[in-house]
A = this chain, B = another copy of it.
Amino acid sequence: MATSDIKLLGASPSPYVNRVQIALNLKSIKYEFLEEKLGTKSELLLKSNPIHKKMPVLIHSGKSICESLIIIQYIDEVWTSGPPILPSDPYDGALARFWAAYLDDKWFPMLWELRTAEGEEAKVVALGWLREGLMLLEDAFAKCSKGKDYFGGDSIGYLDIAFGSFLGWLKVVEKMEELEFLDGTKTPGLVGWAERFCSHEAVKGAFPETEKLLEIAKMLQAKAKAKAQAQAQ
């Protein structure tokens, strides 16, 4: 299949875009990366995802597929010759989907909110909740990995990608807030997993360095503050 037949619309700082990049790398699929500028939306993006107007969008043979987790499943089903991403066992699949949804709907939005939490009390509450979430994910790792290297077992799977794509931003929040989320005492399984995940061939280089993300985070925070101040006036 020609590379030009597979296009990915997105920007590297987006963990949702990184997910698709990692899935494509795992399957050794060559593709054209159409970089979206942060803060703007290209005409192609608006046309390809008119409902949500969000990246990533995978354009495959002229058809648009939207939403990162849906795209990962699509990639897994289309390119079956590469290593499988979704678990073959129905219960393992249900578990992986459950935790991926938990990360997307609950945990990551709360991590994002932590950066903008107003007041010490709100921050302490959010932080406690986030740490509790990581303990749940530590348990989920034991259950899903069954003593192996990844949530997916011997190789990177659906939940590895869903969670792992947030690790860059997790590090950014750790730096900004001067704290440590993953530590060897409370979440030893996740610490080892995160190291293995980030140094995997399919992942290395898929998301920007922490310093670069940190710059972007500071810029976004400044923008959000300015907007809030303008609205308050």
Contacts and interface: CB of A to CB of B under 8 A. Distances in A.
Interface of A: 51, 60, 63, 65-67, 70-71, 73-74, 77-78, 90-91, 93-94, 97-98, 101-102, 136
23 contacts: A51-B98, A51-B102, A51-B136, A60-B91, A63-B91, A65-B94, A65-B98, A67-B97, A67-B98, A67-B101, A70-B94, A70-B97, A70-B98, A70-B101, A71-B94, A73-B90, A73-B93, A73-B94, A74-B90, A74-B91, A77-B90, A77-B93, A78-B90
Contacts of A67: 97-98, 101
A51 B103 CA distance: 12
Contacts of A77: 90, 93
Nearest to A49: B98
Nearest to A99: B51
A137 to B, nearest CB: 11
A67 B97 CA distance: 9
A71 B77 CA distance: 20
Which 6 pairs show the lowest CB-CB distances between chains A and B? A77-B90, A74-B94, A70-B97, A65-B94, A78-B90, A74-B90
A50 to B, nearest CB: 9
Given A51-B102, A51-B136, A136-B51, A91 B70 contact: no
A74 B77 CA distance: 16
A204 to B, nearest CB: 27
A6 B125 CA distance: 39
Contacts of A60: 91
A159 to B, nearest CB: 13
Contacts of A97: 67, 70, 73
A136 B49 CA distance: 13
Contact of A66 (B73, B93, B98): B98
Contacts of A74: 90-91, 93-94
A199 to B, nearest CB: 30
A102 B66 CA distance: 11
Contacts of A90: 73-74, 77-78
